[in-house]
Amino acid sequence: MTKWAIDVKNLTKHFGDRVVVNNISLQVPKGKIYGFLGPNGSGKTTTIRMLCGLLTPDHGEGTCLGYDICTQTDLIRKKVGYMTQKFSFWEDLTIRENLEFVTNIYEMDHVKQRVDEALEKLHLTHRANQLAGTLSGGWKQRLALAACILHQPEILLLDEPTAGVDPKARREFWDEINQLSNQGLTVLVSTHYMDEAERCHEIIYIAYGNIMARGTVAQVIAETKLKTFEISGADVPLLRQKFEHNSDIATMALFGENLHICGTNPTKLQKLIEAQKTLAQFQSKEIETSLEDAFIYYLNKAKEN
Amino acid sequence: MFRFSFQRLRALIRKEFIQLKRDKTTLIMIIMLPVMQLMLFGYAINMDPKHLSTAVISRDNTFLTRSIVSAFEKSDYFNITHKASSDAQGKKLLQQGRVLFVITIPENFTRDVIHGNRPTLLLQADASDPVSIIGATSAMDGIYQSVAQKEFNGSLAYLQNNATPAFSIQVQKSYNPEGFTRYNIVPGLIGMVLVFTGVMMTSLALTRERERGTMENLMSMPLAPLEIMIGKIMPFIFIGMFQATLILLIANLLFEIPVFGSLSVLFVCMFLFIICNLALGFFISTIAKNQTQALQMSIFVLLPCLLLTGFMFPFDGMPLWAQALADMFPLTYFIRITRAIMLKGAGWAEILPDLWPLLILMSVITFFTVKAYKNTLD
């Protein structure tokens, strides 16, 4: 047995003339939570769909749970729990009916018992006969997750599972993901939230169909070689205008009263700041580079290519 | 390939029925569509119109012809409103719609009757309104009987021979030789409703699933394409059968329209036709990107069905190119088959010429549908 739950090489997918996924190779170790990040339209969903056999790659090859993603999709489907970006269970079925349906599709026995257990775990027993469409966003996500793990999959593919869900529901959702991971389940999860990325064992960042970075959060940040300075004081708006379009600054963003500027060359950055010291009122200090800065840096780099 | 699983199939079908149960609009449409259409057609034509204006061209004026004309009037169906002097004048009256019938009594009619030449009396009818004339034209036997009873006595008693009538009345229908009647409408209606349910509802049900994103979920589950297809189609087979039965029942109970042929043959043919339509609906859903498109494409199928297949207008009255086009629609054959079974009591042998094209069309459509359906989002 290999240690990879997902092991794919050079996946490429076109839609018409547009290259959506370009030559992506991906190795996801078993039992880990793997974060899949990138801007909208970067090919995350397409990649996930290729992994669970919903799309056939134009080029490339690989395995998911040891099964070929091009020829053994039937076997993959049995062992994958795939949660779509949009709630894709049946809104005109009740919660119980949805769960029963899934249980039957995976040909499980003791349907009623399993569904009852799942409902209890969800704390939805008293609302079992409510139409799924009447649930709030957070509950819909929990129902979807419960339905995805009913058949005890070996890997979860979650496509932006927490989009539009409030922080409390998001935290509960992630607590459950962590729990599942502890039980040995592999999780590949795409997200736009930085805090969620930081909860992953490893992350991969793709932009315009290309992989820009991978590794632990610390590694991904370190790899950019970005240094960040925080500038505060009365003249922040003035400095912001002055620093615009400066080629030494990779990213710049306002956080309340404070301005964060990042660059790959710390000496040049420092010189830039020193030069302004006599002209404006402000203080500056070096701070840790955030994951968000790293991602924007990667995105701009991808744009240049 | 997955092993075909009944647990999965049952779950799919059950889901479909639960969703249908909660979709009140569709549910109402399933029941109301056939009922309303039948009521509209049925009641509009169920009236038994009487005292219809009639012109007489009499070239022979005797006791017998006067008796015949009065027998026409006494039947209550005919009301002699005009006396025409020539065929041309009679034709004009008919064309203008001033009269619905023209009775023409030929020269020497009475002499021919007495000599036993069995002459023919012509009744021209405006069949463009088949509904109004159906009762009237069926009254011919009664008219002959009443004339015979009254006049063929004494010296003419030798004409009282039922086996060989002394004269005959030839009914000539103009403008609509096939004589569409409510009897003809019911088989067509069954076909039309089945097309509607099969093509439109199936394609909508599938594109709806795609539009809502649930199709992606379904595809990511271990389901064989055939299971998804059968699971989706099965409820509509039930619905189609239900609608057809409903039409037959109402037609029979309310309008006393009988089925002369075998019901089982009829239902087997209905089943084949339903499969045809479901496959077509499924095919549309593989091309259509959303429900609006599916609806548009369905109408694209429905319209020629309504106009070309003999449902509304007589098939033989259409130009050849239109007939050739109509030959490509399963409904054309189904209407002929159903009419033959229901009205003429036809069995397998008689419907065979229309059955095999239906089977071929069914196979072709099903083949392309299975080929077009993919279990991926490609």
* Min Cα–Cα distance to chain B from A131, Å: 10
- pLDDT above 90 coverage of chain B, percent: 33
Of the partner residues B8, B217, B376, the one whose CB lies closest to the CB of residue A104: B8
Note whether A106 contacts B212, CB cutoff 8 Å. Answer: no
Are residues B169 and B190 both part of a single domain?
no
Are residues B37 and B61 both part of a single domain?
no
Are residues B32 and B89 both part of a single domain?
no
Going by their DSSP bridges, the two strands A227-232 and A283-287 should be labelled as antiparallel
Query: Is B117 touching A (CB cutoff 8 A)?
Result: no
Are residues B331 and B368 both part of a single domain?
yes
- The vertex-A121 CA angle with A117 and A127, nearest 5°, equals 85
Q: Is residue B378 part of a domain?
A: no
> Quick one: tokens of B91?
């034709």
Note whether A107 contacts B7, CB cutoff 8 Å. Answer: yes
Separation in Å, CA B80 to CA A133, A167, B66, B86: 69, 89, 12, 16
Q: Which residue has the higher pLDDT, B307 or B264?
A: B264
Are residues B67 and B23 both part of a single domain?
no
Region A4-221: CATH code: 3.40.50.300
Q: Is residue B133 part of a domain?
A: yes
Q: What confidence tens digit (pLDDT) does each residue in B144-184 have?
A: 888 888 888 877 777 776 567 888 888 887 654 455 566 67
Are residues B25 and B58 both part of a single domain?
no
What ipTM was reported for this prediction?
A: 0.85
Domain spans in chain A, listed from the N-terminal domain onward: 4-221, 225-288
Note whether B23 contacts A88, CB cutoff 8 Å. Answer: no
In this structure, of A37-41, A127-131, B22-26, B93-97, the range with the lowest mean pLDDT score is B93-97
Note whether B23 contacts A55, CB cutoff 8 Å. Answer: no
> Quick one: tokens of A54?
């919903």
A-B contacts (CB, under 8 Å): 72
Given this model, what pLDDT does residue B141 score? Answer: 81
Alpha-carbon span A213 to A220, nearest angstrom: 6
Q: What confidence tens digit (pLDDT) does each residue in A161-172 have?
A: 988 888 998 999
Of the partner residues B7, B23, B216, the one whose CB lies closest to the CB of residue A104: B7
Angle between helices B348-372 and B263-287 (to 10 degrees): 20
Given this model, what pLDDT does residue B44 score? Answer: 62
Output the average pLDDT for chain A. 90
Are residues B327 and B206 both part of a single domain?
yes
In B, residues 318-377, which contact A (CB 8 Å cutoff)?
376-377
**What is chain B's alpha carbon radius of gyration, rounded to the nearest angstrom?**
27
Note whether A54 contacts B11, CB cutoff 8 Å. Answer: no
What's the per-residue H, E or C state across chain B?
Answer: CCCCCHHHHHHHHHHHHHHHHHCHHHHHHHHHHHHHHHHHHHHHHHCCCCCEEEEEEECCCCHHHHHHHHHHHHCCCEEEEEECCCHHHHHHHHHHCCCCEEEEECCCHHHHHHCCCCCEEEEEEECCCHHHHHHHHCCHHHHHHHHHHHHCCHHHHHHCCCCCCCCEEEEEEECCCCCCCHHHHHHHHHHHHHHHHHHHHHHHHHHHHHHCCHHHHHHHCCCCHHHHHHHHHHHHHHHHHHHHHHHHHHHHHHHCCCCCCCHHHHHHHHHHHHHHHHHHHHHHHHHCCCHHHHHHHHHHHHHHHHHHCCCCCCHHHCCHHHHHHHCCCHHHHHHHHHHHHHHHCCCHHHHHHHHHHHHHHHHHHHHHHHHHCCCCCC
A43 neighbors A27 (Cβ within 8 angstroms): no
Instruction: Answer yes or no: is pLDDT of A92 > 60.
Output: yes
Given this model, what pLDDT does residue B316 score? Answer: 67
Are residues B257 and B162 both part of a single domain?
no
Chain A environment of B205 (Cβ under 8 Å)? none
Of the partner residues A49, A102, A131, the one whose CB lies closest to the CB of residue B377: A49
- Of the candidates B150, B174, B198, which is a domain's last residue? B174
Q: Which residue has the higher pLDDT, A96 or B85?
A: A96
Are residues B167 and B218 both part of a single domain?
no
Q: Is residue B242 part of a domain?
A: yes
Are residues B104 and B191 both part of a single domain?
no
B50 neighbors B135 (Cβ within 8 angstroms): yes
Specify which of A93-107, B132-146, B338-352 reaches the highest per-range mean pLDDT.
A93-107
As a whole number, mean pLDDT of residues A77-87 equals 92
Q: Is residue B377 part of a domain?
A: no
Specify which of A83-92, B49-58, B369-378 reaches the highest per-range mean pLDDT.
A83-92
Instruction: Answer yes or no: is pLDDT of B207 > 80.
Output: yes
Are residues B241 and B276 both part of a single domain?
yes
Q: Which residue has the tokens 């003249």?
A: A235
Show the domain range for B246: 6-44+181-372
Are residues B57 and B84 both part of a single domain?
yes
Q: What confidence tens digit (pLDDT) does each residue in A2-36 have?
A: 789 999 999 999 988 888 998 899 999 999 999 99
Given this model, what pLDDT does residue A239 score? Answer: 87
- Look at the domain A225-288 and name its fold: Alpha-Beta Plaits (3.30.70)
Given this model, what pLDDT does residue B199 score? Answer: 93
> Quick one: tokens of B137?
């034209």
By C-alpha distance, the chain A residue nearest B217 is A88
CATH code where residue B134 lies: 3.40.1710.10
Alpha-carbon span B149 to B222, nearest angstrom: 80
Q: Which residue of A70, A107, A131, A150 to mutate against B (max B Cβ within 10 Å)? A: A107
Alpha-carbon span B42 to A13, nearest angstrom: 58
Instruction: Answer yes or no: is pLDDT of A195 > 80.
Output: yes
Chain B environment of A93 (Cβ under 8 Å)? 15, 18-19
- pLDDT above 70 coverage of chain B, percent: 91
Output the average pLDDT for chain B. 85
Chain B environment of A77 (Cβ under 8 Å)? 220-222
Given this model, what pLDDT does residue B118 score? Answer: 86
Instruction: Answer yes or no: is pLDDT of B46 > 60.
Output: no
What total of structural domains would you count in chain B? Answer: 2
